[in-house]
């Protein structure tokens, strides 16, 4: 089964192609550039390098969020559009789960995280068992201080994976002391090789229409709409 993978949920843009248990190719960059401009050329280039036609694909894996609103939308929209045109399924995977996969052999807890502004982070808690990463605490948006209070009671070290470590290092180390570990730059970078692994082993095929972004909170537009319509009757 040939599968294309797309992750644009952060500044990192990663595309990859796998076939069953083999990674055929992967293209990953990590700099602030417009994913909407660069994503399709990257996919086209990778497929050409691998001598694969879009019609050869059997499925598309995509990081569904949480993460950058714009980045998540770009990845999801591209995956849905291609899947619809090719009549193939989509495998939508948590962006945080993809990041957690980088620590699949860590013996403690794994906390992939992304800054969500206003003192908040997107995060979840994971743990690896014989190279298989499993969810312990569901993905969420939460005040970092509240998250750290929750982690204080854990009986093992917590490995933090994310490119926003420098922004929150002081708070994390102050709260957890020597229980707080930080991954290196490689483990803090999401890769579609890991996304493919999750899609092949844990993913459920969805039609293009069924796939939706996972923001873990309302967008600003949704918040404004709810505020403007608060108290209105359903029939109005």
Q: What local confidence, expressed as pLDDT, does residue 216 receive?
A: 77
CATH value at residue 132:
3.30.420.40
Helix (H, G, I), strand (E, B) or coil at 35: helix
Place of tokens 């750290």: 148
- Strands in 158-161's sheet, in edge-to-edge order, are 132-143, 120-129, 109-117, 158-161, 180-182
Q: For the chain, give me the number of helices (H) and strands (E)? A: 7, 10
| Residue 234 covered by a domain | no
Q: What local confidence, expressed as pLDDT, does residue 158 receive?
A: 98
| Residue 226 covered by a domain | no
| Residue 113 covered by a domain | yes
In terms of domains, do 85 and 102 share one? Answer: no
CA distances from 214 to 40, 69, 106, 165, 182 (A): 22, 9, 26, 22, 26
Domain that residue 148 falls in:
96-182
CA–CA distance, 120 with 147 (Å, rounded to integer): 9
In terms of domains, do 171 and 62 share one? Answer: no
CA–CA distance, 128 with 135 (Å, rounded to integer): 9
In terms of domains, do 10 and 90 share one? Answer: yes
| Residue 62 covered by a domain | yes
CA–CA distance, 161 with 119 (Å, rounded to integer): 17
Q: Of 134, 157, 182, which residue is a domain's last?
A: 182
Residues (pLDDT < 50) of the chain are 218-227, 234-236
Q: What local confidence, expressed as pLDDT, does residue 86 receive?
A: 98
**What's the distance, Cα to Cα, between the start and end of the chain in Å?**
50
Q: What local confidence, expressed as pLDDT, does residue 223 receive?
A: 45
pLDDT tens by residue, 141-167: 999 999 999 999 999 999 999 999 999
In terms of domains, do 109 and 176 share one? Answer: yes
Q: What local confidence, expressed as pLDDT, does residue 33 receive?
A: 78
Residue in 46, 37, 36, 32 with CA at minimum distance from that of residue 192:
46
| Residue 131 covered by a domain | yes
Q: What local confidence, expressed as pLDDT, does residue 31 receive?
A: 86
In terms of domains, do 197 and 155 share one? Answer: no
In terms of domains, do 90 and 104 share one? Answer: no
In terms of domains, do 122 and 71 share one? Answer: no
CA–CA distance, 208 with 152 (Å, rounded to integer): 41
| Residue 235 covered by a domain | no
In terms of domains, do 73 and 122 share one? Answer: no
Q: What local confidence, expressed as pLDDT, does residue 72 receive?
A: 96
In terms of domains, do 49 and 78 share one? Answer: yes
Q: What local confidence, expressed as pLDDT, does residue 11 receive?
A: 92
In terms of domains, do 81 and 195 share one? Answer: yes
How many CA within 13 A on the CB side of residue 134? 7
Structure tokens at 129: 């068992």
pLDDT tens by residue, 73-98: 999 999 999 999 999 999 999 999 99
Contact 6, 63 (CB under 8 A): yes
CA–CA distance, 217 with 142 (Å, rounded to integer): 10
Number of domains observed in the structure of the chain: 2
Global pTM value: 0.90
């Amino acid at each position: 089964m040939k599968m294309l993978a797309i992750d644009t949920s952060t500044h990192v843009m990663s595309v990859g192609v796998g076939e069953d248990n083999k990674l055929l190719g992967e293209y990953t960059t990590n700099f602030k550039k417009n994913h909407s401009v660069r994503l399709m050329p990257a996919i086209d280039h990778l497929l050409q390098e691998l001598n694969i036609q879009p019609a050869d694909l059997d499925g598309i894996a995509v990081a569904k969020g949480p993460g950058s609103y714009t980045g998540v939308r770009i990845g999801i929209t591209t995956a849905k559009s291609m899947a619809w045109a090719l009549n193939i399924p989509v495998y939508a995977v948590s962006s945080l789960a993809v990041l957690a996969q980088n620590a699949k052999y860590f013996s403690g807890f794994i906390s992939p995280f992304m800054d969500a502004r206003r003192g908040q982070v997107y995060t979840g808690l994971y743990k690896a068992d014989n190279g298989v990463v499993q969810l312990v605490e569901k993905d969420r948006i939460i005040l970092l201080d509240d998250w750290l209070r929750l982690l204080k009671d854990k009986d093992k070290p917590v490995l933090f994976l994310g490119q926003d470590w420098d922004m929150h290092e002081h708070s994390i180390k102050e709260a957890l002391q020597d229980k707080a570990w930080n991954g290196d730059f490689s483990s803090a970078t999401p890769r579609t090789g890991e996304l493919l692994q999750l899609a092949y082993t844990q993913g459920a095929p969805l039609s293009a229409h069924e796939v939706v972004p996972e923001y873990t909170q309302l967008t600003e537009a949704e918040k404004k709409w709810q505020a403007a319509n608060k108290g209105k009757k359903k029939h109005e």
